[in-house]
Amino acid sequence: RVLAELLGELISRCALITLMYQSSRAAEHSNAEHADIVQAMAARDEALAVRLMHEHLLNVEQGLAFDRQQPVNDLSMALSF
């Protein structure tokens, strides 16, 4: 139960960070990657799903721009105050 709660909090924080620091172009690419990961899991291709998830996490990390002077979207603006 404790691990599930920690994971839930981590997922929520990650979502907020990507909303604030990820461009809409990177978010679209991320969405396509999610679809590919789900397809691999549906096909029960564990090796492919693991590889795609690893690549996805690297792409998300590379797509974050923490040096932005202006918020990326309305949610970013609301959370920055």
Alpha-carbon distance of 1 to 77, in angstroms, equals 34
Number of C-alpha atoms within 13 angstroms, CB side, residue 15?
A: 8
pLDDT of res. 44: 98
Q: How many domains is the chain built from? A: 1
Which residue, among 77, 48, 36, has the nearest Cα to 21 in the 3D structure?
A: 77
Q: Tell me: the pLDDT tens digits for 46-74?
A: 999 999 999 999 998 888 887 766 555 55
Helix axes 24-42, 46-63, angle to 10 degrees: 170
pLDDT of res. 16: 84
Per-residue pLDDT at 79 exceeds 70:
no
**Residue ranges making up the domain that contains 59:** 2-65+72-79
